[in-house]
Structure 1
Amino acid sequence: MQRRRYPRALALVALATALATATTSAAPTATAESPAPAETRLSATIDAILADARLDGAQAGVVVADATTGDTIYQRNGDRRLIPASNTKLLTSAAAMELLGAGHRFTTDVLHTGARRGTVLTGDLHLRGGGDPTMLAADYDALAARVAAAGIRVVGGNLVADDTRYDATRLGPDWTWDDEPYYYAAQVSALTVAPDTDYDAGTVIVTATPGAGAGERPQISLTPPNGYVRIDNRATTVATGTTNVSFDHEHGTNTVVVTGQVAVGAAPTSDWVTVWEPTGYAADVFRTALRRQGVQVLGRTVLGRATPASATGIARHDSMPLSELMVPFLKLLR
């Protein structure tokens, strides 16, 4: 699986940010005719980076501003419209660390309403999301095991997936519509699933393995395994040639269409594909986990309903601290 990575661009902005911080905290006051030495060094450093031969043919826009006054310290092509990509993470991560704190943990809770009668819960079981982007299928398994350990074997009511910590807007208003299937455009929900420790929440990993012979359909598998996503397998196994497979999903559905070809004997090929309505995805993974733990839910799955304040807690999962989460968040550049 290949990702688009922009380490050079991110390093440039990170360096500029660090130098700007040093400039604002330590530089002497500059006159209009004579900029401060630190500002001169900053400009020279950024100019040298932009002149690197490895950036030949690339477009770069840089603006460095004083965090206190807002004054521009350095700018090149500052008014040129470019896609910021993962450089945006510098702002969101700084805001999160400032507002939430390095020790903040996202929580996911399981609660219930109604009475307990032996191993039977007469009310609803609530899965309440706290915006954790690192929730894996294994974490939902652990929550389900806690429900079983509490002595509950039958839930007479519904499984309620509470994603109300965030609003119901799933996609950004300026996101490109044809990026919708790709992991970097996954829908936003306070209750979601990440397929692996890259933590691309709201996606599944789809893998195509060649069939035994030419003309056969490749074998398609999902990580994590689930019944929420359907596969429309239109791909073919070929005797020779290169593997060239596309994974796409139809708008408004959770049908993943697999097209292209896989060569006999070739290694499996995989990619991340977004799901439609990640709250339902999380609920499906949790419901399956409950079933594995011997807990039967008799009612239906209800999405987007807030948990009553009177609900009784059963289990909680805490994410890693925000300071640790920043490592995959910033290191895995999109």
Structure 2
Amino acid sequence: MGVLSGQLLRQLVAVGFLLLAVTGASRAAEPAPSPDAALASALARALEAAPLRGARVGALVVDDGDGRVVFERSADQPLVPASNLKILTALAALRVFGPAHAFTTRVYSDAAPDAEGGVGTLYVRGGGDPGLTSEDYWRLAADLHRAGLRRVRGDLAIDDSLFDGERWHPSWQPTTARAYLAPIGALMANYSAYAVVVTGGDAKGKPVAVAVDPPLGFFRVSNQAHTGPGKRLVVEHRAVDGGEEVVVTGASARGAERTFQRSVLDPTGYAASVLKLQLGAVGITVTGNVRRAYVPEASRELLAFEGRPLSDVVRRFLKFSNNPIGEALIKSLSASADGVPGNWKSGVAVVRRELDALGLPTAGLVQVDGSGLSYDDRATPRLLVAATREASHSFRYGAEFVASLPIGGTDGTLQRRAHGAGPELRAKTGLLTRVTALSGLARRADGRTFAFSVIVNGFRGDAHSAIAALDAFAAALVGEG
């Protein structure tokens, strides 16, 4: 019986090993979740976060190497893209003008400077350069001084006829004095913006100190604010003869300093005033006034001043989401393709033609401006991904485009966010009331790069929470979620 029991035991053990082998083989044969499936699951979780519940969400992620779709959700739904629309404007501008293109501001007079370095009227023709700053106007003035100019006995006449007279797009409602909603002109300075520094006095009831930068006669200050408790500080503006009045009301704590960034109402008059200031700074006297006028055909060109290359302009445009640059680019595209004056309707049509010529999926695209400020704009995640890939892959301007995108947790509009994704993320941000978006490129530790776009419309919570959800989406893309 002991022998039989031993044989039986050996048989049972053999059967057990066989079952174990079969079971193990069966389990081994079950496919493990693919890396892309795991990634898609992580991305889906990010979009199901509480701040996005009830919102309309569109998203697309593709492998940038082979174009394979890794994740999508309503990728063909046209949504308000906010500043992600800037990707389309930048692509069209780089394609039409090229990254080395420089917008030119031209200066004329009736004749060359006389023996005393004097001319009559000095004419300045705006070339649509959106990047000119006070420092650039100083360089322009210094170039004129080197060319022999010392005195303008007549007026400083500005020809801004390259663009039409529509300063703000009609769909931007309501207009405010905030710098992000600055007006557009063919001659601009400092993105049509300026700073107002308000400092509380040293005792309760005393007036605050108000300083405007740049310090121009163009600005007049109405200081109605005081030191001490009271209503919050408010800085507004209104047009007055020959310039603008900056009105400061409310109250400031003792010794406290606040800086307000504000836009001007008259971009051409402001730019002319900046130029007049810098002419004086280099030793060129202007006797007359600032006025608008066409450059006479018989005028003599004194200077062709080239601004920064378009690659640098686009970098400022995308890195810092600079709205005036986008609108000026749209009007320059219009003027280049369809003649003067450049306007929004013609300019956005140029963008559409360029996208169609590239074969990009433009179904559902509605573009009315260059920056994405309008709630009338519509774009799909599929188009934004395709445009990002097209721009980044271009031999002519791909490097410049990629270098223009904000880097996660490092610079531009991503400097204080997307720390989870970090420098493996390069993406354009977008934010309007109840709208947030993020489109660009993300690189994983395994070396793969993804092109992606996610747009959220109608989120119900606070903007910070919705932005955090998109940052979590980006972190999952790079493998840090």
2: CA distance, partners of 1:131 / 1:292: 24
2: CA distance, partners of 1:145 / 1:278: 22
Q: Which residue of 2 aligns with 1:198?
A: none
Q: Which residue of 2 aligns with 1:327?
A: 315
CA contact (8 A) 1:131 1:165 kept: yes
CA contact (8 A) 1:60 1:77 kept: no
1:62 paired to 2:74:
no
1:121 paired to 2:123:
no
1: CA distance, partners of 2:163 / 2:54: 37
2: CA distance, partners of 1:128 / 1:326: 23
1:294 paired to 2:283:
yes
Q: Which residue of 2 aligns with 1:30?
A: none
C-alpha offsets along residues 114-160 of structure 1, whole Å, 9 cap, x if unaligned?
35321243432122221222211121122222222222222223211
Instruction: Report the 3-state secondary structure (helix = DSSP H, G, I; strand = E; otherwise coil) of the residue aligned with 2:233.
Output: strand
2: CA distance, partners of 1:100 / 1:46: 37
Farther off after superposition, 121-130 or 39-48: 39-48
Q: Which residue of 2 aligns with 1:262?
A: 252
CA contact (8 A) 1:148 1:293 kept: yes
1:149 paired to 2:146:
yes
2: CA distance, partners of 1:44 / 1:272: 43
How many Å apart are 1:245 and its aligned residue?
A: 1.8
Instruction: Point out where structure 2 has 5 or more consecutive residues left out of the alignment.
Output: 1-35, 63-71, 322-430, 432-481
- Structure having the larger proportion of residues in helix: 2
C-alpha offsets along residues 232-269 of structure 1, whole Å, 9 cap, x if unaligned?
1111111xx69942211236772221122211132x21
2: CA distance, partners of 1:231 / 1:60: 45
2: CA distance, partners of 1:124 / 1:40: 70
2: CA distance, partners of 1:57 / 1:190: 44
Instruction: Report the 3-state secondary structure (helix = DSSP H, G, I; strand = E; otherwise coil) of the residue aligned with 1:116.
Output: coil
**1:100 pairs with 92, 97, 100, which one?**
97
Structure with greater Cα Rg:
2
How many Å apart are 1:167 and its aligned residue?
A: 1.2
Instruction: Point out where structure 1 has 5 or more consecutive residues left out of the alignment.
Output: 1-38, 67-72, 195-200
Q: Which residue of 2 aligns with 1:140?
A: 137
CA contact (8 A) 1:154 1:295 kept: yes
* TM-score relative to the length of structure 2: 0.52
2: CA distance, partners of 1:192 / 1:330: 19
Farther off after superposition, 271-280 or 144-153: 144-153
Q: Are residues 319 and 57 of structure 1, via their aligned partners in 2, closer, same or farther at CA, if it must alter by over 3 Å? A: farther
CA contact (8 A) 1:210 1:263 kept: yes
How many Å apart are 1:49 and its aligned residue?
A: 4.4
Q: Are residues 242 and 299 of structure 1, via their aligned partners in 2, closer, same or farther at CA, if it must alter by over 3 Å? A: closer
Q: Which residue of 1 aligns with 2:5?
A: none
2: CA distance, partners of 1:295 / 1:175: 40
Letter in 2 for 1:221: A
Letter in 1 for 2:182: A
Q: Which residue of 2 aligns with 1:183?
A: 179
1: CA distance, partners of 2:114 / 2:106: 22
2: CA distance, partners of 1:42 / 1:75: 18
Q: Are residues 59 and 328 of structure 1, via their aligned partners in 2, closer, same or farther at CA, if it must alter by over 3 Å? A: farther
Instruction: Report the 3-state secondary structure (helix = DSSP H, G, I; strand = E; otherwise coil) of the residue aligned with 2:162.
Output: coil
Letter in 2 for 1:182: R
1: CA distance, partners of 2:247 / 2:160: 28
How many Å apart are 1:279 and its aligned residue?
A: 0.5
1: CA distance, partners of 2:315 / 2:56: 25
CA contact (8 A) 2:184 2:192 kept: yes
CA contact (8 A) 2:196 2:261 kept: yes
Q: Which residue of 2 aligns with 1:162?
A: 159
Letter in 2 for 1:322: L
**2:195 pairs with 169, 183, 205, which one?**
205
CA contact (8 A) 2:57 2:73 kept: no
* TM-score relative to the length of structure 1: 0.72
Instruction: Report the 3-state secondary structure (helix = DSSP H, G, I; strand = E; otherwise coil) of the residue aligned with 2:140.
Output: helix
Q: Are residues 264 and 148 of structure 1, via their aligned partners in 2, closer, same or farther at CA, if it must alter by over 3 Å? A: same
1:78 paired to 2:74:
no
CA contact (8 A) 1:61 1:77 kept: no
Letter in 1 for 2:187: L
Equivalent residues, number: 277
Q: Which residue of 1 aligns with 2:303?
A: 315
1: CA distance, partners of 2:219 / 2:105: 23
